[in-house]
Each structure stands twice: as C-alpha cells, then as structure tokens.
Amino acid sequence: MSDPIFERIAIIGAGLIGSSIARAATAYGAAGSVSLYDASDDVRARAAGLDIGEVAGTLADAVKDADCVILCVPVGALAPVAQAAVPHMKEGAILSDVGSVKKQAAEALASADDGRVFIIPGHPVAGTEQSGPEAGFPTLFRNAWYILTPQSGKGEAYDAAADRLKAFWVVLGSKVETMDPARHDRVLAITSHLPHLIAFNIVSTAFDMETVEEGEVVKFSAGGFRDFTRIAASDPVMWRDVFLNNKEAVLECLGRFSEDLAALQRAIRWGDGDFLMHEFSRARTIRKAVIDAGQDSGAVNFGRNQNGAKPDA
Ligand code: NAP
C-alpha cells in the first residue's frame, strides 16, 4: 500500500455510499483515518458497531481535522449540510459530495463557499438498490466510473486539490473522468435517471394490476419484471431528490422516450414487424456494446441460476 492520499477524511451521511467510501478508504490505504457523521442517531449507533471509522457525535467534530470532507447525503440535503460543515473545516481542506445530480449539487456546495476551502463536486457511478451503513462494501467503486465536476479557472492550488481528489478515487479503484456539471446531468438523465423512473412506473402499474390478476404478477415475474423490481427497490428519498433536481434533463429525455414508445405502440397496432425487428435488433447491439465496454457481465441471465439466485449468493 502506498502513502495515504489524505491524512484524514470525513464522511457525512453514513449510508450505502458513505459507508462504502469509509470501508474502501481504509481497506486500500487512501486515507490515514476516517471520521463519520450522520444526522440520524440510529444510523450513527449502527455505524459505530461496524468498525468502519470513528463515529463523531456532531458534524463539527467529524469535519474539524479532515483534509477532505465528502457529503454522502441526499441531494436535497447538500446545501444545509455544506453550510453547517464549512465553518468548522480546516483552511485548505476539500469539500466534495457524491450526489447523483451535479448542477444543483455544485450550487448547493457553492452556497457554503467562504473562500477557505476547495469545493470540488463529484459522483461515483456505482451503487446498489440497498441503503444504510450495513449495505456498504469496500469494492463498490472498483472499475466503476467516478465523474469529477471541478470548477474551471480557480487557479493552481484548486487544480492541485482536484488532482488529489482524483488520486483518492483512483486508489479506491475507480476510473476517473472530468465533466461539466450540465453535461453530466444530461448523460445521467438517460443512462440512470430515466431507467429508474421507468422501473418505478412499471412496478407501480403491475402493483395496481396485481389486485386484478390475483397475485399472478408476482408469482410469474420472470427475468424482465424481476429486474425492474430490483431497480425500483432503490431509496425513495434519494430518487425523489434526483428527479426534483434534474428536472430539465429528465423531462427532455422523457419527451424523446414517449415519442419512441408511441412509435412502437403504433407498430404493434398496425402489425409492422419490420419496424419492431429494426428497433429490437438495434437495442441488442447496444447491449453488446455495454458488455464489450466492461459495464456488465455477458453471462446468461446476469449469471443467475434458474431460481433467480446469483451463483455466488
Ligand atoms: P443512504 O444509504 O440512504 O444514506 C444517506 C444517509 O444520509 C442516511 O443515513 C441519511 O440518514 C443521512 N442523512 C440524510 N440527511 C442528512 C443530514 N442532513 N446530515 C447528515 N446525514 C444525513 O443513501 P445513499 O444511497 O448512500 O445515497 C447518498 C448519496 O449518494 C445521494 O446523494 C445519492 O444521490 C448518491 N449516490 C447514490 C448512489 C446509489 O446507488 N445509492 C450511487 C451514486 C451516488 P436518514 O436515513 O436518517 O435520513
């Protein structure tokens, strides 16, 4: 293990992402020590029992000695938490976040800027549908993208701080890319936000039909529907905040999606098999490209056995 990138980091919000960063930073030697804080007494008590860092009793205690403070709270909570944290941070420390939306996150962090700390937002494109400190694991970020959205023209010291943050995520195993926040939000709207919205919607439609079909939707839920239920089990607070804070890009994607869905609907109605073949074949090529890019496993049915369990579960 090489020298730690940061002597001490502070994680605010000890849920899935926060506790995974804490675990990974220790496991891979990216930080000399880790302090954690969560607004919830219950989460703090549970995190303290997991041995993933020093759990502080107050936000101020958690951040006061940290070289880098990473806010791992829902996007809607970023501004008040950043404003409460910054006055207690060391001069020259980094304030970052992991919010899934970057334009609003950047504004939220900037609202706390007092000129003494470096504000560098970021987003690890990795996660699961689980929440809470027990759900985290150290390998979550390995081979996953981490998108850094630094401000430009802030000077050499700022750029050096951004390089340090980048180096931290590289030690955690991530592939780092730098992006403009608005571009990040447009890309993630189609690759992550819209798929989640579709999953929430299909599961809720099926739930309504369930009362009509007397339990058969759940009983016969094979691959397709089952995969949607996994995505739709994601944290409701996190996703409420994603949609409230990436409204423009999501509505733009949703407009395009609705038009394409209407075209498929028309093809089914008029028996246009050629159109359906064309669209489905194109989609299959994209799946192959995702696997070739190492973004998913090419194993049949994601490597599940016939009962739906992962072989290593
Ligand atoms: P999570 O497991 O629910 O953890 C969030 C934690 O933050 C909870 O323990 C929550 O406590 C706490 N919290 C809420 N408000 C707070 C405040 N004001 N001060 C301190 N702690 C507070 O959620 P997560 O999945 O880790 O998501 C955290 C962030 O990561 C979100 O911004 C999300 O957009 C981003 N992210 C998530 C994923 C993913 O797949 N889950 C992937 C990439 C990025 P309570 O539960 O008591 O409210």
218 and 149 inside one domain: no
Calculate the alpha carbon distances from 184 to 170, 173, 239 in Å. 19, 21, 17
189 and 60 in a single domain? The answer is: no
Q: Which residues line ligand 1 (CB under 6 A)?
A: 12-18, 38-40, 43, 72-75, 77, 81, 98-100, 123-124, 127, 131-132, 235, 238
Alpha-carbon distance of 104 to 100, in angstroms, equals: 10
Whether 24 and 47 have beta carbons less than 8 Å apart is answered as no
Residue 57 lies in a domain: yes
Task: Kindly state the helix (H) or strand (E) to which residue 96 belongs, with its residue range.
Answer: strand 94-97
DSSP-assigned letter for residue 143: T
Identify the residue whose tokens are 């309504």: 208
Return the structure tokens found at 138: 């150290």
Domain residue limits at 257: 183-271
Distance 10 CA to ligand 1 centre (A): 15
| H, E, C per residue of 199-264 | HHHHHHHHHHHHHHHCCHHHHCCCHHHHHHHHHHCCCHHHHHHHHHHCHHHHHHHHHHHHHHHHHH
Are 145 and 58 members of one domain? yes
Enumerate the β-bridge partners of residue 176.
146
Place of tokens 């607070």: 237
Average pLDDT over residues 19-30: 98
Please check the confidence at residue 312 and state whether its pLDDT lies above 50.
no
pLDDT over 60 at 51, yes or no: yes
Of 158, 179, 200, the domain-final residue: 179
Q: What's the count of helices (H) and strands (E) in the chain, helices before strands?
A: 13, 9
Q: Each residue of 68-78: pLDDT tens digit?
A: 999 999 999 99
Over residues 129-163, the pLDDT tens digits come to: 999 999 999 999 999 999 999 999 999 999 999 99
> The domain spanning residue 55 has which CATH number?
3.40.50.720
pLDDT higher than threshold 70 for residue 193: yes
**pLDDT at residue 108 in the model:** 98
Q: What residues have CB less than 8 Å from 104, skipping those under 6 apart?
A: 75, 78, 245, 246
Instruction: Tell me: do 198 and 159 sit in the same domain.
Output: no
Residue 211 backbone dihedrals phi, psi, to 5 degrees: -65, -30
Which residue's CA lies nearest to atom 19 of ligand 1? 39
The CA 17 to ligand 1 mean position distance, Å, reads 7
pLDDT (tens digit per residue) in 208-227: 887 766 677 777 776 678 88
Nearest to 74 by CA among 215, 205, 244: 244
pLDDT of residue 303: 66
User: What CA–CA distance (Å, rounded) separates 138 from 312?
Assistant: 18
| pTM listed for this prediction | 0.93
Same domain, 92 and 165: yes
Which residue's CA lies nearest to atom 42 of ligand 1? 127
Q: State pLDDT tens for residues 80-123.
A: 999 999 999 999 999 999 999 999 999 999 999 999 999 999 99
- For 60, the token pair is 């101020």
Atom of ligand 1 nearest to the CA of 43: 9
pLDDT at 219: 75
Are 194 and 214 in the same domain? yes
